Amino acid sequence: MAPASSIERNHAMSKLAGKSAIVTGSGRGIGREVAMKLAAEGARVVVNDLDADPAQEVVELIRANGGEAVACVGSVTAPDFADRLIKTTVDSFKGIDIIVNNAGYTWDNVIQKMTDEQWYAILDCHLTAPFRILRAAQPVISAAAKAEAAEGREVFRKVVNISSGAAGGNAGQSNYSAAKAGILGMTKTLAKEWGRLKVNVNAVAFGLIETRLTQALAADQSKSVSIEGREIKVGVQQAMLDGASRMIPVGRAGRAEEAAGAVYLLCTPESNFLSGQVLYCGGGPGANF
């Protein structure tokens, strides 16, 4: 038999070797970096995006680097998505070890101008979708945990929900702030419900991170992206970014790979006795974003 490649040996020795991970919204931005980081540490990854091309690109990148990945394309808000995602994971990798609820976007307005559609679209994406995914995963995780307990084995699994500094309130973001505060309540509740199953349920709250949603705009410029058939304005005026950066102790916005590092920390064995916690990844205490 030929010797294992150096990549295969590295994966075998990695902290997440043999683990299966779901990362929603992982075709772009922070989610992409999370998927790549977990894969680099040996995890087999289910990549999700609204669009097939970015999802498949990440899958191929992971495979090219010696990892394992499959795509599950679609909107996390679709009523049948959670069951399809869990089935894809179990069919592909025989179990679930890590769930990162990352998919999301912003659709801002002051409350008197915010429509019901804006309100529910953001709550559905950031709060209802994670709820459905975790609900669908529970029978799989419970069965595995019971089997492991019967064998006298203690195996920890990880849930990392993505929140934001905006959970503390942000002008023009009553929908997003409410959703990101709500996911913290869900995180703490599931940490209590799933502790007996040896599942660590934590959250990462991001500050200002460089993504396509927070790209700098000139004073007279506007940009938008199409999300589920809606044209959503993205980007932040340069003056606002400069002001926010001055309030960050390290003096700049975070990078997507740095955001992924915070998520990774809560997926490692070192976090086995951490649950129900919120890790703020924002370069130090500063302005909400």
């992971």: which residue's tokens?
62
Query: Catalytic pick from 105, 176, 264, 280?
Result: 176
As a whole number of Å, the CA-based R_g of the chain is: 19
Contact 281, 208 (CB under 8 A): no
Pairing label, strands 69-71, 44-47:
parallel
- Asked if 176 is an active-site residue, the reply is yes
121 token code pair: 């679209």
Between CA 118 and CA 97 the distance in angstroms is 33
Three-state DSSP at 274 gives: coil
Q: Please identify which residue in the block is written with the tokens 């070797």.
A: 17
Identity (one letter) of the amino acid at 226? S
Catalytic residues: 176
